[in-house]
Amino acid sequence: MNTVAARPYPYPFDPAHTAVVMIDMQRDFLEPGGFGAMLGNDVTTLQGIVPACARLLALARTHGMTVIHTQEAHDRQLADCPPSKRARGGLACGIGDPGPLGRVLVEGEPGAGFVPELQPQPGDIVLRKPGKGAFHATGLDAMLHARGITHLLIGGVTTEVCVQTTMREANDRGYECLLVTDCTASYFPQFHAAVVEMVVAQGGIVGWAAPLAAVEGALA
């Protein structure tokens, strides 16, 4: 077992039974012209974590951990996009509409793809999801069970939406989750900070939190 110096107490894990789940590091959320920008956000607040995310993925591959990239994207007919989700925000250009990066949050479109620095590599898993949580309407739980995965190291965007939702879903299913704090980000830094505190509160009611350096130290 390896042990990360984490909050609220040390996080032990076996790389053979651990997956890195990198959540939604897509052009639609991190680049100008994407869905995140259309919502009025400053996308540069997310771009700063890309180098750390690349280091976490490289570390996982080096140590034989399963690597999963989630991708929030809908089928081309939007059959898996609830009308309430599409209508939210009353945007002039919203989910499914043509935008600067192609149809917004639609599979196969440029904006739904991953940022260049974090492209999936051979052996990685790409999981398309129609909702915020990675377990909703996907085969993630069965996939993890089939591989004997019990522990998850979680990064990606945004901390308070898809990252937190996935972590809570995983916690309810019995997975031991570590939020890698500098591999996650929000358009609102105060939301990111709040989620970290929610995760580790009450003895780690949702899971653990630690910076990437602590994960690297545990595997050194």
The length of the chain in residues reads: 220
Alpha helices in the chain (DSSP H): 27-30, 35-38, 44-47, 50-62, 83-87, 140-146, 164-172, 189-204, 212-219
132 is catalytic: no
Measured over the CA atoms of residue 53, residue 59, residue 63 and residue 64, the dihedral's sign is positive
Q: Which of 53, 81, 162, 183 is catalytic?
A: 162
- Strand residues in 14-150 grouped as ranges (E): 18-23, 66-72, 98-99, 102-103, 125-129
Name the amino acid, one letter, at 123.
G
Tell me the C-alpha distance between 100 and 164, whole Å. Answer: 28
Q: Which of 28, 53, 129, 182 is catalytic?
A: 129
24 is catalytic: yes
182 is catalytic: no
Which three-class secondary structure state does DSSP give residue 99? strand
Q: What amino acid positions are annotated as catalytic residues? A: 24, 129, 162
